[in-house]
Amino acid sequence: MKPILTAAAVMTALLCSSPVLAKARAQVEGCLKGMVKTQACDRMIQNYWQHNTSIERVAREERIDPLLLKSLVAYESRYNSKAVSPKRATGLTQVMPATAAELGVSNRIHLYDAEVSLRTGSRYFRQMQDLFPGRLDLALAAYNAGPNRVRRAGGIPKIKETQDYVRNILALYREFQLKESRTGQPGRGNGLQHVTMNNTTQSPTPRVSLPTRRTGPVSAAKTTGKKQTSTSSASTKKNQSRFKTSNESTSSSRFQTAGAGL
């Protein structure tokens, strides 16, 4: 059974918003809906289609709703596998080096590999869901601020970044769910119907397998704010050269008009 958004969580996501939160949400959701036409949005949509299949596959393998993982990655890295924050959170899922090391990724350079980052972030988020069963909002808050802060606060900590983070992701998750219900494509997010959310005794989280090839780092550019990410122009060009592969390759005009199909 995949996680369900409670009425309270939906209302929190849709109503308890600040102007800054609304702006961030408008940028991300507008971009994914094909309503925003900027170079940054173009790159985000290219990144989305490049990693879409991997996100869905890894999510199912790690017992997470693919629609939820897509929503998390959207706000963590804008689907940019080369993203790095000022605090060195790295890759698609913006995992901190210390957290990655606990899951078997001792060198954060490996987090630039999309598969490794998705696998590491998914396993850590799965841990948070198991710590806070039935409370998707608390699992997201724990992923952002740490489980100890959530426990001490007895709920979502009174940290604006964390509160905005939870609201944004829940709202986008709801948009993905609505899109799925409209299109009648249950395969996208219903791959977890046999997975229970009970907080039962579980074996230790398996360590992440590292890639055979080495993925180099990128130089950090100037950023502002705790969760903003940066990339080098060289890595961006390298990524763009890989977009024209498989059935996910799409023309730039489609990126700007169709977005991610929300």
Average pLDDT of span 155-174: 96
- Report which of 190, 194, 226, 71 is spatially closest to residue 136, judged by C-alpha positions: 71
- Report which of 170, 152, 161 is spatially closest to residue 68, judged by C-alpha positions: 170
* pLDDT at 133 > cutoff 90: yes
Handedness of CA 34, 226, 47, 232 (dihedral sign): positive
76 is known as an active-site residue: yes
Identity of the amino acid at 70: K
pLDDT tens per residue, range 34-58: 888 899 999 999 999 999 999 999 9
* pLDDT at 19 > cutoff 90: no
CATH of domain 7-195: 1.10.530.10
Task: Write down the catalytic residue from 56, 76, 115, 175.
Answer: 76
* pLDDT at 114 > cutoff 70: yes
Helix (H/G/I), strand (E/B), else coil: 95? strand
Q: Which two tokens stand for residue 20?
A: 């800054």
pLDDT tens per residue, range 203-231: 455 566 665 444 444 333 333 334 444 44
Place of tokens 């899109």: 179
Q: What are phi and psi of 214, to 5 degrees?
A: -90, 130
Residues 6 or more apart from 153 whose CB is under 8 A from it?
none
- How far apart, in whole angstroms, are the C-alpha atoms of residue 57 and residue 166? 23
- How far apart, in whole angstroms, are the C-alpha atoms of residue 209 and residue 220? 26
Using alpha carbons only, give the angle 251, 241, 213 rounded to the nearest 5 degrees.
Answer: 135
Q: Which two tokens stand for residue 29?
A: 């959701």
Q: What is the radius of gyration, based on Cα positions, of the chain?
A: 17
